[in-house]
Amino acid sequence: MWSVKDVYYVSDSTAILAEGMGRALLCQFPEINFNEERIPFVRDAADARKALARILKQSGGRSPLVFCTIVQTEPRLILDSPEIEFFDLLGPVLERLEHCLEAKALREPGFSHQADRLTLARRVDAIHYSIEHDDGTRTREYDKAEIILAGVSRSGKTPVCVYLATQMGYKAANFPLTAEYLDQYQLPQELLKQKQMLVGLTSSPQVLHEFREKRYGGSRYARLDTCTQELEQAQRIFDRYKIPVIATNGRSIEEIAVAAIEALKGARPRGHRG
């Protein structure tokens, strides 16, 4: 077994996809240390030669792994050197797709990231909406929200909302369950009007305690028994109003975001965002 491997993510665009694929694969080998580098914007033969020279200089003789998502044939052939372990992630699939779809692929570099104006405008709007509706602000505009996350302080609402907006284009608001709601086991009217958009976030008392200690160590707010009590009160509110709930502990931001959208899909009729 190799103990260390150099890994390169090479792409005609951002190399974010190549990195995502590489990481999903390499995490299945937790005993090996990987030195990773992204080489984005490799658009032609000259770029490919430069990238190859860089890779060979840095990792020559140690068979680096190269994960490549370039769609054009020529730069790919240049990079596919005998001195590296070359993984062509898109090429073979693209060929099979041409056969399945009975169509010819464009093979235009960076095409997938060319900004479709509508999609871009939608994501930009969603990001601004989510920042402007963070932490219970502007609740009167909740009728524009496509998802609203509720939960106690530090249960992870803000990062998940920001992810939903940035990556998935949803207008995501979030509402903190503070003492005035927890103690009364009720939600405000502005929120109840949009109940079909509402998803609750919960966590374990221990994880919440750790998050809060980091910011306000030693406070009553951060104490384990306070966390336990608030999470129980929040759960009673979610039960009372039949709000779907996602447990966040041990899960990534992506997983919580996708689980929240799935929960909404299950709770309401299927729309165009299905």
Give residues 78-107 in contact with a second copy (rule: CB under 8 A): 85, 87, 89-90, 93-94, 96-97, 100-103, 105-107
19, exposed or middle or buried, with CB in 10 Å at 0-12, 13-18, 19+? buried
- Cβ distance to a second copy smaller for residue 233 or 248: 248
Q: Give me the least distance between CB of 227 and a second copy, in Å please.
A: 17
Smallest distance, a second copy to C-beta of residue 168, A: 9
Beta carbon nearer to a second copy, 14 or 228: 14
Q: How many residues bind a second copy (CB under 8 A)?
A: 78
| Cα–Cα distance, 193 to 263 (Å, whole number) | 18
Beta-carbon contacts of 107 under 8 Å, excluding residues fewer than 6 positions away, are: 71, 72, 73, 94
Least spacing, CB of residue 156 vs a second copy, in Å = 7
End-to-end Cα, the chain, rounded Å: 44
User: By CB under 8 A, is residue 156 in contact with a second copy?
Assistant: yes
Q: Does 8 bind a second copy (CB under 8 A)?
A: no
Choice between 56 and 229, CB closer to a second copy: 56
Q: Backbone phi, then psi, for 101, in 5-degree steps?
A: -90, -5
What's the token pair of residue 270?
A: 């299927």
Taking the CA atoms of 246, 251, 253 and 255 in sequence, report the sign of the dihedral they define.
negative
In terms of Cβ atoms closer than 10 Å to its own Cβ (0-12, 13-18, 19+), residue 181 is buried
Q: Does 273 bind a second copy (CB under 8 A)?
A: no
Angle in degrees, CA 230, 231, 237, rounded to 5: 90
- Total count of residues recorded for the chain: 274
Question: Mask of contacts with a second copy, 109-128, x by CB under 8 A?
Answer: -xxxxxx----xx-xx--xx
For the segment 166-225, give every residue that binds a second copy (CB under 8 A).
166-167, 214
Interaction residues for a second copy, span 26-55 (CB under 8 A):
26-32, 37-38, 40-41
- Give the one residue of 10, 55, 68, 69 binding a second copy; rule: CB under 8 A: 69
Furthest C-alpha separation in the chain: 69
129 binds a second copy (CB under 8 A): no
DSSP SS3 for 175: strand
DSSP, res 45? H
Q: Which stretch binds a second copy (CB under 8 A): 8-16, 74-82, 197-205, 233-241?
A: 8-16
Least distance in Å: CB of 192 to a second copy? Answer: 27
